[in-house]
């Protein structure tokens, strides 16, 4: 492979990667919008969590970032 072919291959791979990343970022935002909707409909982070996606703790943190308040009766703070 000559240098021009190598450069073209790198450019193509970069373009494909950036396109896939942009699509993945948009899909991730769609997923968290769906989590917010589900939480507002009464689902808990524990019910939404799956091993192949995200933990309940991570989902809870992302829900809080998006303005979803903790549900009443949730975990109680530890006393020291």
The tens digit of pLDDT for each residue in 47-63 reads 999 989 999 999 999 99
Give residue 72's pLDDT.
77
**DSSP annotation of 63:** H
Both tokens assigned to 15: 């373009």
Q: What is the mean pLDDT of the chain?
A: 92
Q: What is the pTM of this model?
A: 0.75
CB neighbour burial string for 6-25, b if at least 16 within 10 angstroms, e if fewer: eeeeeeeeeeeeeeeeeeee
């Amino acid at each position: 492979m000559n240098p021009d072919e190598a450069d073209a291959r790198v450019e193509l791979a970069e373009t494909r990667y950036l396109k896939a990343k942009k699509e993945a970022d948009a899909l991730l935002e769609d997923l968290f919008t769906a989590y917010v909707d589900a939480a507002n409909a009464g689902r808990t982070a524990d019910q939404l969590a799956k091993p192949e996606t995200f933990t309940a703790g991570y989902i809870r943190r992302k829900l809080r970032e998006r303005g979803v308040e903790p549900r009443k009766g949730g975990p109680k703070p530890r006393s020291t």
